[in-house]
Amino acid sequence: MKQLEDKIRKVGRPLSEHVLLVDMFLNHQVDCTLMRDIGREFARLFADAGITRVVTIEASGIAPSVMTALELNVPLVILKKARSVILDGGVIQTEVFSFTKQSSYQLTLKPEFVHVGDRVLLIDDFLANGEAATGAAELIKKAGGTVAGIGIVISKNFQPGLKRLRESGYRVEALAEIEEMGEGYVRFAGEAK
Ligand code: G4P
């Protein structure tokens, strides 16, 4: 998605070969016009997938997934990572290890929010190793849903997530695919070295 690549070039900040700072438009300050267009693009890409529900993971997946669910006119479900005293029992959980953050958390879903037969579009902001998406897909399937698609805002293709999810049989669309980055530069898929 050209508009997203331009934004990453303009205000994204590669902190290292592995981490891209996007707090100017995606996960701290949010560019809502861009989020709306991201929602439209995911809705267009998955128009033929019979989506009945969008699922995301808190927190940074929420902005793009709200816009996607709005465009598809389906409910949105936010998987929880933070512990909560209100979510007590009646939940399904799976442990996810974040290589980026070097810590684990329990991804949590109340199964009543994903119905048997639901065709779910899973949306997340970053794809690195694919651990979060794999955990989320597991919960959706446990609840009786089908993962009909996975939409990623930014895939870091030099990490194994995209390849892994596709090899597992998921239909994955990433709006910006970064092949390589370093201090001050980003190379997207399809661009010459
Ligand atoms: P994986 O799920 O693909 O295996 O990825 P990993 O656990 O390694 O990283 C997931 C977390 O790290 C997510 O945040 C994701 O947004 C963030 N992340 C990964 N790579 C980058 C990056 O290059 N830049 C930025 N800014 N974030 C990155 P999270 O723990 O889910 O936190 P939240 O912000 O959604 O609350």
Q: What is the pLDDT of residues 154-189, one digit of tens each?
A: 999 999 999 999 999 999 999 999 999 998 899 999
Task: Determine the atom of ligand 1 nearest the C-alpha atom of 27.
Answer: 34
- Nearest Cα residue to 81 out of 54, 53, 61, 52: 61
Per-residue pLDDT at 20 = 96
Convert the pLDDT of each residue in 100-137 to its tens digit: 889 999 999 999 999 999 999 999 999 999 999 999 99
Which of 67, 87, 89, 70 has the alpha carbon at shortest distance from 79? Answer: 87
125 C-alpha to center of ligand 1: Å? 8
Q: CATH fold of 2-188, please?
A: Rossmann fold (3.40.50)
Residue 85: the pLDDT is 65
* Cα(60)–Cα(30) distance, integer angstroms: 10
Q: What are phi and psi of 180, to 5 degrees?
A: -160, 145
Report pLDDT for 82. 77
Contact at 8 Å (CB) between 136 and 165?
no
Dihedrals φ, ψ of 44, to 5°?
A: -70, -45
pLDDT of residue 5: 98
What 3-state DSSP class applies to 96? strand
Q: Which atom of ligand 1 is nearest to the CA of 134?
A: 2
**Other CB atoms within 10 A of residue 79 CB:** 25
CB-based pocket (< 6 A), ligand 1: 19-22, 27, 57, 59-60, 98-101, 125-132, 156, 161
Output the CA 148–ligand 1 centroid distance in Å: 22
β-strand partners of 16: none
Query: Residue 83 class from Cβ within 10 Å (0-12 exposed, 13-18 middle, 19+ buried)?
Result: exposed
The whole-model pTM stands at 0.96
131 to 1, 17, 60, 137: CA distances (angstroms) = 24, 20, 15, 10
- The residue whose two tokens read 């390849």 is 163
Distance 39 CA to ligand 1 centre (A): 20
Q: Provide the pLDDT for residue 89.
A: 74
